[in-house]
Amino acid sequence: MKMKLEQELSRYLDSKVEFTPYYNGMHQIVCAPLFEEQLHAIMDAMENEVSSSSKSFKVYLDAVIVNMQSKIAKYKPSEYFDGEKIKEIENQGYLIPFYVDEAEEIYVLLGIYKKSYQ
């Protein structure tokens, strides 16, 4: 997982890939292709189980992501990276690592994956 997340960060930093806004018109929070793929897979799996759980998951996830800028201090640094520029959101059993591009005032959602409990 770490290698995939590092590749997405590298793509963003090198501007090799156009990252899409989390919501149309919301350019301060963007999604890496890996995040989009993983979220789509999670939603498909939930939809196959119980469609109401996928809807509530997405609504809650949207609220957390849209409000992440105002709560940035509460998020812990990512376990896969050193430093404070990459943090992660824990939401409903999933981790969402994101990069804080302070110069551009952009938050880059790098991926989303199930948290492994030890």
Q: Where are the domains of the chain?
A: 2-114
Per-residue pLDDT band at 21 (split at 50, 70, 90): very high
Q: Cα separation of 87 and 83, whole Å? A: 9
Answer with the residue of higher pLDDT: 69 or 96. 96
Residue 50 or 58, more confident: 58
Task: Determine the Cα–Cα distance for residues 96 and 5; give it in Å rounded to an integer.
Answer: 10
Q: Answer yes or no: is pLDDT of 35 > 90.
A: yes
- 2-114 classified as CATH 3.30.2310.20: yes
H/E run at residue 88: strand 86-91
- Provide the Cα torsion 11, 64, 85, 7; round to 10°: -20
